[in-house]
Structure 1
Amino acid sequence: MGKVYAIINQKGGVGKTTTVFNMAAEMAEQGKKVLTIDMDPQGSLTTSMGQVPSELEYTIGDLFMELIDRKPLPDIKDYILSRGKVEYIPANLALSVADASIQRVIVAREYLLKKIIAPLRSLYDYIIIDCPPTLGSLVVNALTASDALIVPIKANDMDTKGFDSLIDTVEMIKIETNPSLKIEGVLLTMFDERLLEARDVLKTLEGSCEYFSIPIYRAKIGTSTKAARAFRQRKTIAEFDINSKISLSYKEFVREVLADE
């Protein structure tokens, strides 16, 4: 059965989508069968994959609505697209409609995504969920469906209150809907060790993670104009410049993730 990861931080701009995009591509390069799921109504991951979200006929939001309307789950293969070796279920603003509609599900509303993923687990080595920057019903669904989560944290903007809030949410999920959920690790992004601010963030983060017994990945994703340029061109960082420092950092990060299996 494939392992399901949620990539999550309730703050935007910390590199969640970039991490999902590059993590999935590197796993696929190493021979793993990977599915990503875009759970952000803005469709950033979908855009990264080369799609125009508003033009898509089938999205994750439509799958949610089928379940919300108490209809049988359709053939999910119709909803899966591919980019190179990576497959994905896209999202667009229809997911916002589904998010609002989740509230009228009286029983087990937290398990909708888990139902969608259930028939896919045996088909993939890894399923990676790109979560929206909130702690609302879509994220609750993602955490209920996941085995583990990875938290990207921006090196120059450490918000310990936000991190503590995320940990509280995870503990609530463990009690209510998913007792086996764990935080697999924290990934530091946009890290420049030359900057005092970045070193201070790392020190603060090390203290918080030690208190909660959460690992910090040795790989740290640096700052680079190449990352932004690659994103604008809908390329992974390895496709843009395979020998760049940031590309090598993502390779090291994926090696750590796979070594923990």
Structure 2
Amino acid sequence: MGKIIAIANQKGGVGKTTTSVNLAASLGVLEKKVLLIDADPQANATSGLGIDVEEVELGTYQLFEDSIAPEECIQKTSSPNLDIIPAHIDLVAIEIELVDQDARESMLKKAITPLKELYDFILIDCAPSLGLLTLNALTASDSVVIPIQCEYFALEGLGKLLNTIKSVQKIHNNKLDIEGLLLTMYDSRLRLSNQVVEEVQKHFGEMVFDTIIQRNVRLSEAPSYGESIINYDAGSKGASNYLSLAHEIIKKNS
């Protein structure tokens, strides 16, 4: 029985999609069967794995619509053991379309729960907002990974996200757990980066992953080639960081 993990933070630019794509690819390389669901209308996880967003006909939008079997939305990727349910810009409309639906927060859960039988891990790349798409992802998930960039204002908005998680736990999904806080974009030369690491570890202790994702040029380049960092440059710092995170998550869930 697989585990569903949302990668969420309503702040943009914190490394959500980078984490979703590269953690999924790393888990796949470590011989876990993985499904990545792109629940962000920007569809960066989709293009980051080499899929032409314009050509996506079946994807996350259809999952929410509940118009076809979820298996029909799944595509193989060039990464070992990694499948994806891609996104398209039409996903933007779903928030408006769901407004009048009954149990609108549970549409994604209903669609993907049966897929847990087929995969070891299902990762959901969330949109950078706390709207209905993200609420659906949190309601459908067993746990959430929260990326936090090692920069000024890192903790800004974190309180708001943790409150949202609390209310999802209370109202929609009492089993939702925090898988961990992930420090991203770390630059050991910067005093600020080191201060953020200290502050987050001091405030959140055990909740913080041991793995820290460092700033890495190869990591930034990989998406423009439609590849995960594992496919693009397996010897890079970025690849070893995400493999280390994957090991940590496997160990935590074994």
Name the counterpart of 1:86.
Answer: 82
Name the counterpart of 2:97.
Answer: 101
Aligned residue identity for 2:226:
R
Aligned ranges 1:176-187 → 2 under 5 Å: 176-187=171-182
- Indicate which of 200, 203, 208 corresponds to 2:198: 203
Change (3 A) 1:157 1:232: farther
Name the counterpart of 2:22.
Answer: 22
Name the counterpart of 1:69.
Answer: none
* Cα shift at 1:181: 0.6
TM-score normalised by the chain length of structure 1: 0.92
Name the counterpart of 1:163.
Answer: 158
* Counterpart check, 1:258 vs 2:250: yes
Distance 1:83 1:249 in 2: 22
The alignment of Structure 1 onto Structure 2 pairs a total of residues equal to 251
* Cα shift at 1:54: 2.4
* Counterpart check, 1:224 vs 2:216: yes
* Cα shift at 1:159: 3.4
Instruction: Point out the structure with the larger strand share.
Output: 2
Distance 2:122 2:45 in 1: 14
* Cα shift at 1:25: 0.9
* Cα shift at 1:56: 1.4
Name the counterpart of 2:71.
Answer: 77
TM-score normalised by the chain length of structure 2: 0.95
Percentage identity across paired residues of the two chains:
37
Contact 1:158 1:201 in 2 (8 A): no
Moved over 4 A (4+): none
Contact 2:108 2:137 in 1 (8 A): yes
Q: Secondary structure at the match of 2:179?
A: strand
Aligned residue identity for 1:103:
V
Name the counterpart of 1:242.
Answer: 234
Distance 2:159 2:26 in 1: 30
Q: Deviations over 1:40-59 (max 9, x none)?
A: 01111111121222221112
Aligned residue identity for 1:238:
I
Q: Which runs of 5+ in 2 are unaligned?
A: none
Distance 1:239 1:50 in 2: 11
Aligned residue identity for 1:82:
K
Q: Which runs of 5+ in 1 are unaligned?
A: 67-72
